[in-house]
Amino acid sequence: MKPIRKAVFPVAGLGTRFLPATKAIPKEMLPIVDRPLIQYAVDEAREAGIEQMIFVTGRGKSAIEDHFDIAFELEKTMAERGKSLEVLEPTRLGPGNCAYVRQQEPLGLGHAIWCARAIVGDEPFAIFLPDEFMVGSPGCMKQMVEAYNRLGGNLISVLEVPRETVSSYGVIAPGARDGDITEVTGLVEKPKVEDAPSNLIISGRYILQPEVMRTLESQEKGAGGEIQLTDAMARMIGTQPFHAVTFAGKRYDCGSKAGYVQANLAIALGRDDMGAEIRAFALDLLK
| pLDDT at res. 224 | 61
Per-residue pLDDT tens digits for 6-44: 999 999 988 899 999 999 999 999 999 999 999 999 999
CB–CB of 130/9 below 8 Å?
yes
| pLDDT at res. 20 | 94
Alpha-carbon distance of 37 to 134, in angstroms, equals 10
pLDDT band at 108 (very low <50, low <70, confident <90, very high): confident
pTM above 0.85, yes or no: yes
Q: What is the CA radius of gyration of the chain?
A: 19
**Least confidently predicted of 69-73, 86-90, 106-110, 120-124:** 106-110
Mean pLDDT of the chain: 91
What phi and psi values does residue 78 have, to the nearest 5 degrees?
Answer: -65, -40
Distances (CA, A) of 142 to 134, 146, 201, 207: 12, 6, 19, 11
| pLDDT at res. 223 | 59
| pLDDT at res. 222 | 62
Q: What angle do CA 219, 224, 228 make, to 5 degrees?
A: 35
| pLDDT at res. 67 | 93
Question: Residue 124 pLDDT more than 90?
Answer: yes
Per-residue pLDDT tens digits for 178-237: 888 999 998 887 888 888 898 888 889 999 999 999 888 876 666 566 778 888 888 888
The one-letter amino acid code at 276 reads: A
Whole-angstrom distance between the N-terminal and C-terminal Cα of the chain? 56
| pLDDT at res. 107 | 80
